[in-house]
Amino acid sequence: QKTLTRVRFIELDAGGNPIGPGQEFTVEGTRVYLESLVIKFDDTFVEGGDALRGTSVCIFSKMFGENTPAAEGQPIDTVGQRPHPYAQGDTVDPWFDELWSSFWDYANDPEAAAEKGVRAMHGEAPWIEARPGGRYSVDLRSSGGLTITAK
């Protein structure tokens, strides 16, 4: 018998308020994987608290369980577009959209990425074994990397 895990995924703004209604997913298995694309900026921007480059940014691309190939994961955000949390207002530099739309070009051209202040661009897919009734938080660290913790 298959084990199915239902997940309610809600993105929050910096104040902890929901951005949009959220999404519901059902994945096969108990391990819930959250695949994303991450942009990590040069440490000088992070240490200096730069308004736009002072923290890593990510786009959540898909969610899937351990019994589903990653290529068949359920989409979350639209790859190639500005991620939902960064689509609010017009405080983002124009080049920011270019980083998302040409993500893999920059990821494979360290010199061009460095010109944009980028230290690294790559995919990540952390996972957690979900428990019935569990609540989890996904956080993006300023210097890079996603973490999933039980709440």
Res 51: pLDDT: 66
| Contacts (Cβ under 8 Å, ≥6 apart) of 140 | 38, 55, 56, 57, 58, 146
The pair of three-digit structure tokens given for residue 43, joined into one six-digit string: 């440490």
**pTM score:** 0.83
Q: Are 27 and 12 in contact (CB under 8 A)?
A: no
Average pLDDT over residues 111-124: 93
Mean pLDDT of the chain: 85
pLDDT digits (tens, 9 = 90+) for 39-80: 988 878 777 777 677 678 888 999 999 999 999 999 997 655
15 pLDDT band, cuts 50/70/90, is confident
Average pLDDT over residues 98-122: 92
pLDDT digits (tens, 9 = 90+) for 133-150: 999 999 988 767 899 999
